[in-house]
C-alpha cells in the first residue's frame, strides 16, 4: 500500500517536472524577432487611363529606345515584329491596348491606342468617343494644302501629333507620331517667273459652298472649276454658274475610295484620288493624280502603291478581310509620297494600328504626252447645271477623250 502510494507520487512528480520544464522554456524564449520592412521598388508603374499628349501616351514617349520601354514593363510583354514587305517593318511592344513601335533596335516612332479606357485626351476623349466631341474639343481640323488624306483620318489643331481614325462617327483608334515629320514643303513652282509677282495662295475656304442642298462639293482651285465631289465611282468637277453648279468634267475610276484637292503650285490644285480594287485573294490600292485641262481631267500620275494579299496578311497573323488601309498623299518636290495607316481587326475590334512605309509616286509635269486611255475609266464633259447624282447618268456628253 505504501509502495503504491510512492509510485503514484513519483509519476505525478515527473509530470509536474515536465510541465515546469516546458513552461520555463516557453517563457524564456525571449522577445519575437524584429520585423524588417524592405525598400520600396525602384519603379512605380503608372496605370491606365493614360494621358494622350503631343509627344506620347502616359509614360510612353516618342524617341525613347524600345528596349527602355520594354524594361519598364512587368514580366510578360515582349518585343515582337510587325512586318509586311513594302508596307510595315517595325518592332512593337504591346501593353494593355497600346502599341509602341519603331525601327528594329531603334526608338519609338509611333504609339497606337486601340482599346477604350486605356488612354484619353485632357478632355477625356479616346477610343469610342464621338466625332463631334473630338472636333469640338480639338478642332479646327488641321489641314495642309499640300496634303490630301482619307476622310477617315482626322487631326486637330490642338493636338497635332494625334491622328484619329474615325469610322461611323466614332473614334476607332488613335495614332501618335511626330507632327514635324508630316509637314509638306510649300509649293514653289511658278511662284515667280521673270520678275512676275508670285501667285496668291488659293483660299479654299473663301470659295464657299457649291451646289444645291444635300450635295457635297469640296472647294478646289482647279483653274476653271471651283469644287470636286464623288458619286459612286465617278469624280465630278464643277464650277459656279448662273443656274448653280455647272459641271465641267467627270471621270469614272473603278474602286474609287476618295478624292481631294492638293496644292501643287501657289493658287493651283490638282486632284488626288485613291482607288481600292478587291478580288478573291488580294486588295490593291492605287493613287491617281488628275489636273483639269480645259474641259477634261488629265492624269498626272497613276500608280499602284500598296498590294496586300492573303499571304502578306498572314505575316501579321491576319486574314485578308481583317486588314484595311487608310491613305494620305503629300507633295514631295515634283513627286507624290503616299503613306497612311494600316488597321488590323480581330473579332471586329481594332488590334493593330501602324503607319505605312511611304511610297513615292512619279508625277508627270505639264506638257508631257498623255498616257493611253485606261479601259476601266470613262469621262464626260458638259456645260449645263448638274447635281452630283445626275452626273453618273448623263452619258450623252461623253465625247471628250480621257487619258
Q: Between 372 and 349, name the one with better pLDDT.
A: 349
Per-residue pLDDT band at 40 (split at 50, 70, 90): low
pLDDT tens digit string along 204-221? 776 767 766 566 788 999
Per-residue pLDDT band at 52 (split at 50, 70, 90): very high
The angle subtended at Cα 219 by Cα 216 and Cα 221, nearest 5°, is 150
Closest CA to 363 of 304, 303, 305: 303
Tell me phi and psi for residue 361, to 5 degrees: -120, 125
**CA torsion angle 361 367 372 375 (round to 10):** 70
Considering the domain delimited by 50-181, tell me its CATH architecture. Sandwich (2.60)
Average pLDDT value for residue range 325-340 = 96
Integer CA distances (angstroms), 113 to 95, 99, 119, 340, 342, in order? 10, 7, 7, 16, 13
Q: Which three cell numbers stand for residue 32?
A: 519575437
pLDDT tens digit string along 109-130? 999 999 999 999 999 999 999 9
Average pLDDT value for residue range 345-364 = 95
Per-residue pLDDT band at 251 (split at 50, 70, 90): very high
| Residue ranges matching CATH 2.60.460.10 in the chain | 50-181
User: What is the structure's pLDDT at 240?
Assistant: 82
Q: Between 73 and 90, name the one with better pLDDT.
A: 90
Per-residue pLDDT band at 336 (split at 50, 70, 90): very high
- pLDDT at position 92 over 70: yes
CB proximity list for 266: less than 8 A, separation 6 or greater = 186, 187, 188, 190, 191, 198, 199, 200, 201, 202
- The lowest-confidence range among 37-51, 154-168, 276-290, 330-344 is 37-51
- pLDDT at position 277 over 80: yes
Distance (Å, rounded) from C-alpha 336 to C-alpha 331? 5
What percentage of the chain exceeds 70 in pLDDT? 72
Per-residue pLDDT band at 325 (split at 50, 70, 90): very high
Residues 141, 154: contact at Cβ < 8 Å?
A: yes
- pLDDT at position 341 over 60: yes
User: What is the structure's pLDDT at 6?
Assistant: 44
Amino acid at each position: 500500500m505504501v509502495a503504491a502510494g510512492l509510485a503514484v507520487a513519483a509519476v505525478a512528480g515527473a509530470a509536474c517536472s515536465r510541465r515546469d520544464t516546458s513552461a520555463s522554456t516557453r517563457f524564456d524564449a525571449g522577445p519575437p524577432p524584429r520585423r524588417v520592412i524592405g525598400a520600396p521598388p525602384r519603379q512605380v508603374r503608372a496605370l491606365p487611363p493614360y494621358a494622350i499628349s503631343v509627344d506620347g501616351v502616359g509614360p510612353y514617349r516618342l524617341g525613347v529606345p524600345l528596349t527602355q520601354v520594354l524594361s519598364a514593363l512587368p514580366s510578360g510583354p515582349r518585343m515582337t515584329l510587325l512586318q509586311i514587305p513594302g508596307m510595315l517593318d517595325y518592332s512593337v511592344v504591346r501593353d494593355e491596348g497600346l502599341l509602341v513601335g519603331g525601327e528594329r533596335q531603334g526608338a519609338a516612332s509611333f504609339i497606337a491606342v486601340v482599346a477604350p479606357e486605356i488612354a484619353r485626351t485632357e478632355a477625356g476623349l479616346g477610343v469610342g468617343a464621338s466625332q463631334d466631341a473630338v472636333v469640338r474639343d480639338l478642332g479646327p481640323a488641321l489641314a495642309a494644302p499640300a496634303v490630301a488624306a482619307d476622310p477617315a483620318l482626322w487631326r486637330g489643331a490642338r493636338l497635332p501629333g494625334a491622328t484619329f481614325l474615325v469610322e461611323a462617327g466614332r473614334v476607332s483608334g488613335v495614332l501618335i507620331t511626330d507632327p514635324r515629320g508630316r509637314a509638306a514643303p510649300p509649293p514653289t513652282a511658278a511662284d515667280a517667273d521673270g520678275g512676275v509677282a508670285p501667285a496668291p495662295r488659293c483660299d479654299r475656304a473663301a470659295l464657299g459652298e457649291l451646289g444645291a442642298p444635300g450635295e457635297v462639293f469640296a472647294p478646289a482651285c482647279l483653274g476653271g472649276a471651283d469644287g470636286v465631289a464623288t458619286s459612286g465611282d465617278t469624280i465630278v468637277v464643277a464650277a459656279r454658274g448662273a443656274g448653280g453648279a455647272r459641271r465641267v468634267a467627270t471621270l469614272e475610276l473603278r474602286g474609287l475610295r476618295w478624292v481631294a484637292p492638293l496644292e501643287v503650285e501657289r493658287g493651283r490644285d490638282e486632284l488626288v484620288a485613291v482607288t481600292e480594287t478587291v478580288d478573291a485573294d488580294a486588295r490593291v490600292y492605287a493613287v491617281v493624280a488628275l489636273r483639269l485641262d480645259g474641259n477634261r481631267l488629265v492624269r498626272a500620275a497613276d500608280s499602284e502603291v500598296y498590294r496586300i494579299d492573303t499571304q502578306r496578311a498572314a505575316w501579321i497573323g491576319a486574314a485578308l478581310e481583317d486588314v484595311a488601309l487608310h491613305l494620305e498623299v503629300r507633295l514631295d518636290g515634283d513627286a507624290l509620297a503616299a503613306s497612311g495607316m494600316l488597321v488590323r481587326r480581330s473579332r471586329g475590334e481594332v488590334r493593330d494600328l501602324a503607319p505605312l512605309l511611304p511610297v513615292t509616286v512619279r508625277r508627270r509635269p505639264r506638257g508631257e504626252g498623255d498616257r493611253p486611255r485606261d479601259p476601266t475609266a470613262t469621262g464626260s464633259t458638259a456645260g449645263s447645271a448638274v447635281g452630283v447624282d445626275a452626273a453618273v447618268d448623263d452619258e450623252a456628253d461623253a465625247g471628250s477623250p480621257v487619258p
